């Protein structure tokens, strides 16, 4: 999350614990995941506080919203450009820190000035593959 003083928001104890939970968290948690984790330390914290903090961090450019899981919005505290590898079975998300030389053909740009690229790769993670190989029913994508 970077230096907390540079975010320019009021740093309440609840916001600090949310930011600490997100710091280095590679699980791309949902707001509910974050609420469940931090409410253990702050049982009186509301879901609205978590959601509003996430929205504020997103507005300040300190958090990315991921819309790769239809069931829930996920959050990524790594705001540096990167891509994702997503398991279609368990929805586990892994960061990919590699640049890809992808360009839209000029006729497909529709006069847009391209400023960034985000690639999502989909597959089946080793854990789900093992379950599938052990004849456990794995849902189709």
Give pLDDT tens digits for 18-52. Answer: 999 999 888 899 999 999 999 988 899 999 999 99
- Residue 104 sits at φ, ψ, to 5 deg, of -80, 135
At residue 71, does pLDDT exceed 90?
Answer: no
State mean pLDDT over 71-88. 88
Fold entry, domain 4-75: Arc Repressor Mutant, subunit A (1.10.10)
Q: How far is CA 22 from CA 34, 38, 117, in A?
A: 8, 10, 24
What is the reported pLDDT for 97?
92
- Beta-carbon contacts of 128 under 8 Å, excluding residues fewer than 6 positions away, are 87, 89, 90, 138
Of 136, 50, 54, the C-alpha closest to 90 is 136
pLDDT in tens, 115-125: 888 889 999 99
Q: Where are the domains of the chain?
A: 4-75, 81-133
Sign of the alpha-carbon dihedral angle for 128, 129, 132, 137: positive
What is the dotted CATH code of the domain comprising 81-133?
A: 3.30.1490.190
């Amino acid at each position: 999350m970077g230096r907390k003083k540079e975010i320019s928001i009021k740093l309440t104890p609840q916001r600090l614990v949310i930011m600490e939970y997100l710091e280095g968290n590679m699980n791309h948690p949902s707001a509910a995941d974050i609420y469940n984790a931090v409410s253990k330390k702050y049982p009186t914290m509301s879901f609205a506080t978590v959601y509003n903090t996430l929205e504020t961090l997103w507005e300040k450019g300190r958090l990315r919203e991921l819309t790769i899981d239809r069931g829930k919005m996920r959050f990524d505290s790594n705001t540096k450009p990167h891509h994702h590898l997503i398991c279609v079975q368990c929805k586990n998300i892994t960061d990919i820190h590699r640049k890809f030389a992808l360009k839209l053909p000029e006729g497909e740009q529709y006069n847009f000035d391209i400023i960034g690229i985000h690639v999502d790769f989909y597959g089946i993670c080793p854990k789900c593959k093992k379950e599938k190989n052990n004849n456990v029913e794995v849902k189709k994508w």
